Amino acid sequence: MILRRSSIAVALLTSAGGSDWPQFRGPDRDGVSREIGLLAAWPEGGPKLAWTFADAGVGFSGPAVVGERIYLSGGRGPSEFVFALDLDGKELWSAKIGPLFAWKGNSWNNGPNASPTVAGDAVFALGGFGDLVCVAAADGKERWRVNLAKDLGGEVNPIGGGLDDPTPLGWGNAAAPLVDGDRVICVPGGKGGLFAALDVKTGKVVWRSTGVRDQAPYASPIVVDFGGTRQYISATNAGMVGVAAADGKVLWTYERAKPYEDIVAATPVFRDGYVFASVGFGEGFDLVQLSGKGGEFAAKKVASGTDVQIRDGGAVVVDAHLFGYSEKGGWVCQEFKSGKVIWADREALGRGSIAAADGRLYCVAEKGGAVALVEPGVEGWKESGRLKLPRESKLRRPSGALWTHPVIANGRLYVRDQELLFCYDVKK
């Protein structure tokens, strides 16, 4: 099985190495690593554990790996920090993001949700309360900061979460910052516009997408080139939307007959003009096909239904098929461009998150510490190995689980469970 890279092309300030993982869901924001030469099968008990870092703090932020550094965000005590490790798991520096995200009665999450984004010599980190900071990758020195709620009037969809009067923050800001050339794309949401483009050097607002004013989802935005136009796409509770990268003008919208009634957490997936979005909790999925060019676009529904319900574990496309964990049916293989379910397996592994690299799927269970290496075939679930994490977090909230997505970079697999970051050697 050959992995096709998505047509998503994230333009970083400087080109990341072929096996780096500079942001949430990898170099192309599609959950697929560019890494090659990895183990096609694991020995009994799994690959070698290289090291464990035990002071990552609380939160669901995943690591960004660029060159000789690993960047991660976490809550320590009353504050949230972004920090850097070397490739041996030694902390090099830390920088404060803001206060620890928490609210009374929240048994699900504390701390930052979003993974840092590394571009050139800068790291961009987003805290739960909307503090977006830019720091130097070399030493963590702060360059600028913006608060999405206070400075940009941002609002997060608060379904099921907390209300921070007068601005709803729900379960906290979670849309990972996207660096595209000389701009940082963030998702404050609310009356000022769903998207905001900030100057990468100063943090000043370049434009707001005032034509779409949905509250921010928990899903992260993606960037695509389609129909001769570069655009940013986000899933929302209303459906999906694409705006022009140049000025934030709305290019197309897709509105569901009935808005999603629960949190929108899974990042949309783009391939060959098709966009897929899904929500768990019985809500389902939508698949649309884009058409148009020259600034005039439309989104036509291809398929929708409740057969696939991806909550927060993400999805990846391998060749012509989408893989992920569905609340209905378990781990699922779906024909991407038709929406047809090929197989589903609830027994193989519990609910979890997914990434792909070098012809294999990396599936992490949210409970129990199991990580499976799986062949992305259409015949059914076929494991090539399994490991069990040596220990589980003691800092998780009572209702929380291991929801951080796995990362594969530079011959290593990274799995985070709150304060614990595990690093495995998976190179041949």
The strand ranges marked E within 87-221 are: 91-99, 117-119, 122-126, 131-136, 142-147, 162-164, 167-170, 178-180, 183-186, 196-199, 205-208
98, β-bridge pairs: 80
Q: What is the pLDDT of residue 1?
A: 39
Could you please report the per-residue DSSP string of 179-196?
Answer: EETTEEEE--BSTT-S-E
Give CA–CA dist 136/26, Å, rounded: 20
Q: What is the pLDDT of residue 165?
A: 64
Q: Are 33 and 409 in contact (CB under 8 A)?
A: yes
Q: What is the pLDDT of residue 236?
A: 98
Asked if residue 166 has a cis previous peptide bond (ω within 30° of 0), the answer is yes
CA distances from 211 to 192, 241, 288 (A): 9, 10, 21
The low-confidence residues of the chain, meaning pLDDT below 50, are 1-17
Q: What is the pLDDT of residue 10?
A: 39
Q: In residues, how long is the chain? A: 428
Q: What is the pLDDT of residue 201?
A: 98
Give pTM, 2 decimals.
0.95
Q: What is the pLDDT of residue 228?
A: 96
Q: What is the pLDDT of residue 150?
A: 96
Q: What is the pLDDT of residue 18?
A: 52
Give CA–CA dist 79/6, Å, rounded: 36
CATH numbers and ranges of domains, the chain: 48-425 (2.130.10.10)
